[in-house]
Chain A
Amino acid sequence: MSAPAAEKIFGRPESLKDVATHYCPGCGHSVAHRLVAECLDEMGLREKTIGVPPVGCAVLAYNYFNFDMVEAPHGRALAVATGIKRVRPDSFVLTYQGDGDLAAIGTAETIHAANRGELISCIFINNAIYGMTGGQMAPTTIIGEVTTTTPGGREAKAHGSPIDISRMLAVCEGAVYIERCTLNSFKGIKQAKKAIRKCFQVQVDGLGFGLVELLSPCPTNMKMSPKQAWQWIDNQMMKTYPLGLIKDTTGYEDK
């Protein structure tokens, strides 16, 4: 009598290498990496994918993702991705960028890639702080948030208000899908995966630029426990960055 065939119901996505990451306990990057990898696997895109990581905490993402990747200078991921996609339109091109990379030093590259409607999928990790450099103010740092360069908390008058780049991008004609999700709860993560899949589909269907913003906890630099950092996203960060669909001109029925 033969044993019943084993059915694999859970495992490491092929798009993720079998290595330990350098991310801190409670950080959102590991979860975001996994969601990206799962979606690429499920959509059969891994072997077509060329990824561009940011400068920031995810700068070493090419050590974790199991597909072709090229490093970009800080903020220039979407310019590099534009060059890739235009030369190889059949590739699936992905950028994975933090808030400093995408919404401060790379603001021009971000807005113009979106405005040109480049067929690129952008995963935007918003943790409201500069992680890699040790906790300085980010463009997305919220009012009152204490960072190493806003020791008295961010003030609009002195430091400017937090930038909502996703809403800014929504006015660009070429951006067809923008959604903000969170990585601090199971429900949030589930929705984030749905959004990432849809964002990838936008590129596969050749509709235009797609971006998913992920609110992501940074317990180390917030000087909080992981649990506190997750709660902070619920209690503080979402007031500035409410979750939900920001733009959708895809025409997909699920919207």
Chain B
Amino acid sequence: MPSEKKLMRGSDTLAEAAVRAGCRFFSGYPITPQNELPEYLSWRLPQAGGTFIQAESELSAINMVLGAAATGARALTSSSSPGVSLKQEGISYLAGQELPAVVANMMRGGPGLGNIAASAADYFQATRGGGHGDYRTPVLAPAGCQELAELTFLAFDLADKYRTPVMLLGDGLIGQVMEPVVFPDPIDPADLPPKDYILDGCAGRAPRAIFSMLLGQQGELYKHNLHLQEKYEQITADEQRWEENLTEDADIIAVAYGTASRIAMSAVEELRAEGVKAGLFRPITLWPYPKQALRKLAQGGVKVAVFELSAGQMVEDVMLSVGERAEIHFYGIPGGVIPTPADVIDFLRSALKGDGKVGRRVEI
């Protein structure tokens, strides 16, 4: 049965949802602004018969997750931007070895040590693979606690279904905000479908090896890469998720995800109250990007207005989706500064007028 409605902080929501989704292993290293998540799991996982380890580094944490995944466990690690950079090595190996895992990134301001405010500047890293080699990871971007709970379940399901690392991409604000949550039905790990590739000792079967190094001279690595690409094509075809708000009759459609989408939605509602036909397109999967859905909206003279908590990263996917079908405008706030709905209203008005006062017109 779904849980009762509870008031919970984002980080705690993700942690609780992970346990309910059957996750029984977490390893992580402290970094602000996501410490509440490992703190929650440090007592909650042992209570559920799972393992919590505070690792000596992000490198170690992601590789403990790799080991846990190799034995069949649903495993999670979390961090914030600088820590996620360190995890990229392990994420690449997970992708190459086709092991499932969930990585949560509660983004903060960068580059370098940056600051600890909410930011969304890791979009490129998250959606383009992040580590070395030709791979992608599904990236889910929640905009609030209820969705965070549901996407945490989805992240583990997608990871298992496609044998791939999956990223939950939030930010410091998503992690800190408290909202009412109803959790989906809990999953008993014993009820999950068996995995035929895991390592549990070779009693009664041939030994198994899980590896990504393919030195063979018969194009083994080439073939492995083609296999991975087929998988990514399948994910791209089947797993795009997005939300459309008031887009049907819109003259201007804001495109934003995560925290930025909450601000943008407030701006859209205020503009609607004033009679301006504004709408919001909110990607939920950042990879695969809901390209066709956005492309469909980009017609009949509608303007597309991209708003990001970065200097402009997702806007490139919007350009790839929309092309020259519609005018694209961009307004981005980097460095962990959170703008108000009023700032976004100014941007949308400016984009409608085309006066270039707030944000800028993007040329393809």
Q: Is the CB of A80 within 8 A of B67?
A: yes
Interface string of B58-70 (1 = CB under 8 A from A): 0111011111111
Main secondary structure of the interface of B (DSSP, over half): mixed
Q: Is the CB of A68 within 8 A of B201?
A: yes
Q: Is A166 an interface residue when CB atoms closer than 8 A count as contact?
A: no
Q: Contacts A68-B200, A84-B67, A87-B72 given; indicate if A76 touches B213 (C-beta within 8 A).
A: no
- In whole Å, how far is A240's beta carbon from the nearest beta carbon of chain B? 27
Partner of B200, one of A62, A66, A76, A91: A91
Q: List the B side residues contacting A72 at CB < 8 Å.
A: 63, 66-67, 93
Roughly how many angstroms separate A46 CA and B201 CA in the complex, as a whole number?
8
Q: List the A side residues contacting B81 at CB < 8 Å.
A: none
Roughly how many angstroms separate A65 CA and B61 CA in the complex, as a whole number?
27
Q: Is the CB of A46 within 8 A of B51?
A: no
Interface string of A61-76 (1 = CB under 8 A from B): 0110111111111001
Which residue from chain B places its CB closest to the CB of A111 in the assembled complex?
B56
Q: Contacts A79-B64, A91-B201 given; indicate if A62 touches B211 (C-beta within 8 A).
A: yes
Interface string of A221-244 (1 = CB under 8 A from B): 000000000000000000000000
Q: Is the CB of A83 within 8 A of B27?
A: yes
Binds B, one of A47-55, A96-104, A123-131, A204-212: A47-55
Q: List the A side residues contacting B236 at CB < 8 Å.
A: none
Q: List the A side residues contacting B211 at CB < 8 Å.
A: 62, 69-71
Partner of A79, one of B51, B60, B69, B209: B60
Q: Is A109 an interface residue when CB atoms closer than 8 A count as contact?
A: yes
- In whole Å, how far is A204's beta carbon from the nearest beta carbon of chain B? 14
Q: Is the CB of A108 within 8 A of B56?
A: yes
User: What count of chain B residues pass the 8 Å CB interface test?
Assistant: 41
Q: Is B350 an interface residue when CB atoms closer than 8 A count as contact?
A: no
Q: Is the CB of A83 within 8 A of B75?
A: yes
Q: Contacts A70-B97, A73-B89, A84-B68 given; indicate if A108 touches B60 (C-beta within 8 A).
A: yes
Main secondary structure of the interface of A (DSSP, over half): helix
- In whole Å, how far is A62's beta carbon from the nearest beta carbon of chain B? 4
Q: Is A159 an interface residue when CB atoms closer than 8 A count as contact?
A: no
Interface size grouping (class) on chain A? 35 or more
Partner of B203, one of A48, A79, A81: A48
Partner of B56, one of A65, A70, A109: A109
Q: Is B253 an interface residue when CB atoms closer than 8 A count as contact?
A: no
Q: List the B side residues contacting A147 at CB < 8 Å.
A: none
Q: Is the CB of A86 within 8 A of B55?
A: no
Q: List the A side residues contacting B55 at CB < 8 Å.
A: 79, 112
Partner of A67, one of B56, B73, B207: B207
Roughly how many angstroms separate A76 CA and B93 CA in the complex, as a whole number?
11
- In whole Å, how far is A101's beta carbon from the nearest beta carbon of chain B? 13
Q: Is A167 an interface residue when CB atoms closer than 8 A count as contact?
A: no
Q: Is B199 an interface residue when CB atoms closer than 8 A count as contact?
A: yes
Q: Is the CB of A83 within 8 A of B59?
A: no
Which residue from chain B places its CB closest to the CB of A53 in the assembled complex?
B211
Q: Is the CB of B56 within 8 A of A80?
A: no
Q: Is B208 an interface residue when CB atoms closer than 8 A count as contact?
A: yes
Q: Is A59 an interface residue when CB atoms closer than 8 A count as contact?
A: yes
Partner of B24, one of A46, A66, A87: A87
Residue picked from A46, A47, A79, most chain B C-beta under 10 Å: A79
Q: List the B side residues contacting A68 at CB < 8 Å.
A: 199-202, 207-209
Q: Contacts A46-B202, A49-B201 given; indicate if A83 touches B65 (C-beta within 8 A).
A: yes
Q: List the B side residues contacting A59 at CB < 8 Å.
A: 213
Q: Is the CB of B212 within 8 A of A71?
A: yes
Q: Is B82 an interface residue when CB atoms closer than 8 A count as contact?
A: no
Which residues of A (76-94) have their CB < 8 Å from a CB of B? Answer: 76, 79-88, 91-92
Roughly how many angstroms separate A46 CA and B57 CA in the complex, as a whole number?
31
- In whole Å, how far is A220's beta carbon from the nearest beta carbon of chain B? 18
Which residue from chain A places its CB closest to the CB of B93 in the assembled complex?
A73
- In whole Å, how far is A178's beta carbon from the nearest beta carbon of chain B? 19
Interface string of B249-275 (1 = CB under 8 A from A): 000000000000000000000000000
A-B CB contact pairs (8 Å), 25 listed: A47-B203, A48-B203, A50-B200, A60-B213, A63-B209, A66-B207, A68-B201, A69-B211, A70-B67, A70-B97, A71-B93, A71-B209, A71-B210, A71-B211, A73-B90, A73-B93, A79-B59, A80-B70, A82-B67, A83-B64, A83-B68, A86-B64, A87-B25, A87-B68, A91-B200
- 20 A-B pairs besides A73-B63, A86-B68 with CB distance below 8 A are A47-B204, A48-B203, A49-B201, A60-B213, A62-B211, A68-B201, A68-B209, A69-B209, A70-B67, A71-B210, A72-B63, A72-B66, A80-B70, A81-B67, A82-B64, A87-B67, A87-B71, A88-B201, A91-B200, A112-B55
